[in-house]
């Protein structure tokens, strides 16, 4: 399955890097949840210093290689690029980041080294997904002895098991886990906290614990026939692509994907690539309410995926224990903005495979099982301090999807990193100064802060674009 985004050739990268204005205190840094010093690494590429560029990237974001491929750059760093306002194409930051990180990966160059001196403190990290790796890498660089506990056979979490194959190959995610190991971190796979080791034991053996469990299994539809063999969870389906030979993965001729998020899109586009004749996405609301990014939606349309908006599943139709279709109904919004089924609107859609992508379970119960006294907030996420990841228990910190309810990989890395600094503040009693970024050297501390401290959320940028657009349309001036 070919990469959807091609790597850059050397000359292409040079030319693109030279387009970068090398902004001071650049907006792209602010827009990156891990605060990568984007202008600094791009300038290094422009001058032929790819190794230095990779170091700048990986010091800030240990998952720099995978984020280069899967970040929604259009609404993060590239969305913030000042060139938009000069009516030019923004710098292709994601592809340049891939260029630099590929350069060192392909050559086996290690740009990060473990610190010369350890501080003697031990931290346990639960979960080896983006949040856990982000936290562990940062702690290791601060001199902590870190042990990661991972219940799966392989490290990497979502990046290893749950991303569309044409965006990110699992091997790359495993390489990133190796990078973390190179920093002196121990990763114990196949060890489930709460089963193989208790929360109490963690608290006894380690000075602090970081929880980065991610989300649980896919949510159920709660309809008849959901347990048929051809009715799968979309994430399980994507996982198969990562773990099984492609030619052995069963895919239907007529696939129905339930859901309107980015995972639903991944499942749909992957089905097309695996040979499905017709793929239909069923979403209970309208196009504008889809949580998938517009550019992901475009990708699906480009793959000839059909869309049934304002429709919901009623039941799965089975013949001899196999899926042959799905019963759907039209939906509408009531006066008090609730979604309801339109009576008598039921219809049947033929299909031989159904992929469910309607969100994942929160891990609150599991975490309460590990640490009974941990406070859980509304929506089933752990209550925590946004800046430090601190929970109500002094030695327990949290970050990533299990704390934010499910966001981008890069958000998880950023939160892991923030929690590492929270842990450092807790254990060392001091606030570690983040590595100085050359592109911000000398910025007044009261300035708006780098991405790490003040990450711009995609929706904030999007809201601003909307405002910009309407301002432009009305002929009004910004500023």
Partner 1 sequence: MADLSVNFAGIRAPNPFWVASGPPSNTAYQTHRAFEAGWGGLIWKTIGTPIVNVSSRYSALDIGGQRMVGFNNIELISDRSPEVNFQEIAEVKKRWPNHAVIASLMCESREQWHEFIRRSEDAGADGIELNYGCPHGMCERGMGSAVGQQPLVAERITGWVMEVAKIPVIVKLTPNITDITAAARAAKRAGANAISLINTINSITNVNLDTFASEPSVRGMSSHGGYCGPAVKPIALNMVQSCAADPEVRMPISGIGGISNWRDAAEFMAFGAGTVQVCTAIMHHGFRIVDDMIEGLNSYLDEKKMCSVDDLCGRAVANVTTWEKLDLNFRQVARVNHDTCIGCNLCYIACEDGAHQCIDLLNPDSLGLDLGPGRVPHKHVPKVREDDCVGCNLCTLVCPVDRCITMVEVPTGKPPMTWVEYQAKVASGEMKPLPPHH
Residues that bind partner 1 (CB under 8 A): 14-15, 18, 21-27, 30-31, 46, 79-86, 442-444, 447-448, 456, 460-461, 464-465, 467-468, 477-479
Least CB distance to partner 1 at residue 45 (A): 11
Least CB distance to partner 1 at residue 409 (A): 21
Would you state the torsion angle of the CA atoms of residues 362, 367, 368, 373, taken in this order, to the nearest 10 degrees?
-130
Contacts of 191 (CB under 8 A, 6+ apart): 149, 150, 151, 197
Least CB distance to partner 1 at residue 22 (A): 7
| Beta carbon nearer to partner 1, 75 or 279 | 75
| Beta carbon nearer to partner 1, 339 or 467 | 467
Task: Give the Cβ contact number of residue 328 at 10 Å.
Answer: 23
CA atoms within 13 A on the CB side of 122: 9
| Beta carbon nearer to partner 1, 291 or 464 | 464
Q: Is 71 exposed, middle or buried (0-12, 13-18, 19+ CB in 10 A)?
A: buried
Least CB distance to partner 1 at residue 25 (A): 5
Give the distance, in angstroms, between the CA of residue 402 and the centroid of all CA atoms in the same chain.
12
Sheet with 208-211: strands ordered across: 186-189, 145-150, 122-126, 208-211, 396-398
Spatial separation of the C-alpha atoms in residues 76 and 333, rounded to whole Å: 32
| Beta carbon nearer to partner 1, 14 or 151 | 14
Spatial separation of the C-alpha atoms in residues 287 and 280, rounded to whole Å: 14
| Beta carbon nearer to partner 1, 77 or 268 | 77
Least CB distance to partner 1 at residue 163 (A): 27
Least CB distance to partner 1 at residue 440 (A): 10
Torsions phi, psi for 197 (to 5 deg): -150, 140
The DSSP code for 382 is B
The DSSP code for 379 is G
Least CB distance to partner 1 at residue 53 (A): 16
Contacts of 58 (CB under 8 A, 6+ apart): 64, 101, 111, 112, 179
| Beta carbon nearer to partner 1, 77 or 238 | 77
| Beta carbon nearer to partner 1, 46 or 316 | 46
> Residue for token digits 């392989």?
154
| Beta carbon nearer to partner 1, 3 or 466 | 466
Least CB distance to partner 1 at residue 189 (A): 39
Q: Is 284 exposed, middle or buried (0-12, 13-18, 19+ CB in 10 A)?
A: buried
Concatenating the DSSP letter of every residue in 245-305 gives -GGGS---SEEEEE--SHHHHHHHHHHHHTT-SEEEEE-SS-GGG--S-HHHHHHHHHTT-
**HEC secondary structure over 13-48:** HHHHHHHCCCCCCCHHHHHCCCCCCHHHHHHHHHCC
Torsions phi, psi for 248 (to 5 deg): -100, -5
Least CB distance to partner 1 at residue 474 (A): 14
Which pair of structure tokens corresponds to residue 39? 């202008």
| Beta carbon nearer to partner 1, 84 or 368 | 84
| Beta carbon nearer to partner 1, 201 or 460 | 460
Least CB distance to partner 1 at residue 70 (A): 22
């Amino acid at each position: 399955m070919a990469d959807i985004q091609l790597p850059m050739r050397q000359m292409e990268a040079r030319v693109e890097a030279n387009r970068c204005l090398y902004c001071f205190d650049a907006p792209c840094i602010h827009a990156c949840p891990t605060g990568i010093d984007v202008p600094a690494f791009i300038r290094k590429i422009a001058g032929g210093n790819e190794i230095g560029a990779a170091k700048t990237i990986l010091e800030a974001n240990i998952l720099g290689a995978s984020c280069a491929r899967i970040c929604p750059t259009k609404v993060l760093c590239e969305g913030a690029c000042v060139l938009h306002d000069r009516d030019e194409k923004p710098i292709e930051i994601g592809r340049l980041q891939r260029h630099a990180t590929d350069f060192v990966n392909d050559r086996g160059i290690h740009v990060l080294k473990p610190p010369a001196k350890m501080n003697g403190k031990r931290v346990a990290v639960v979960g080896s997904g983006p949040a856990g790796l982000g936290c562990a890498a940062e702690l290791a660089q601060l001199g902590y002895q870190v042990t990661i506990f991972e219940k799966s056979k392989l490290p990497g979490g979502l990046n290893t098991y749950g991303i569309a194959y044409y965006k990110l190959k699992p091997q790359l995610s495993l390489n990133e886990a190796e990078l973390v190991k190179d920093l002196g971190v121990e990763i114990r796979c196949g060890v489930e906290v709460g089963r193989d080791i208790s929360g109490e034991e963690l608290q006894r053996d380690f000075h602090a614990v970081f929880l980065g469990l991610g989300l649980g299994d896919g949510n159920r539809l709660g309809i008849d026939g959901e347990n048929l063999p051809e009715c799968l969870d979309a994430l399980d389906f994507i996982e198969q692509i990562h773990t099984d030979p492609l030619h052995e993965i069963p895919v239907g001729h007529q696939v129905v994907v339930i859901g309107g998020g980015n995972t639903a899109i991944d499942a749909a586009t992957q089905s097309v690539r695996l040979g499905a004749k017709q793929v239909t996405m069923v979403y209970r609301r309208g196009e504008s309410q889809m949580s998938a990014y517009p550019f992901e939606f475009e990708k699906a349309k480009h793959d000839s995926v059909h869309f049934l908006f304002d429709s919901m599943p009623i039941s799965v139709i089975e013949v001899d224990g196999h899926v042959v279709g799905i019963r759907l109904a039209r939906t509408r919004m009531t006066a008090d903005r609730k979604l309801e089924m339109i009576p008598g609107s039921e219809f049947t859609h033929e299909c031989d495979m159904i992929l469910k992508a309607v969100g994942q379970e929160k891990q609150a119960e599991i975490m309460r099982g590990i640490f009974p006294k941990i406070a859980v907030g509304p929506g089933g996420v752990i209550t925590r301090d946004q800046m430090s990841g601190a929970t109500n228990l002094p030695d327990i910190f949290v970050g990533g999807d299990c704390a934010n309810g499910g966001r981008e990989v890069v958000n998880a890395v950023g939160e892991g990193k923030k929690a590492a600094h929270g842990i450092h503040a807790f254990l060392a009693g001091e606030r570690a100064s983040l590595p100085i970024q050359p592109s911000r050297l000398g910025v007044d501390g009261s300035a708006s802060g780098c991405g790490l401290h003040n990450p711009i959320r995609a929706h904030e940028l999007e809201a601003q674009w909307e405002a910009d657009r309407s301002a432009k349309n009305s002929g009004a001036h910004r500023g």
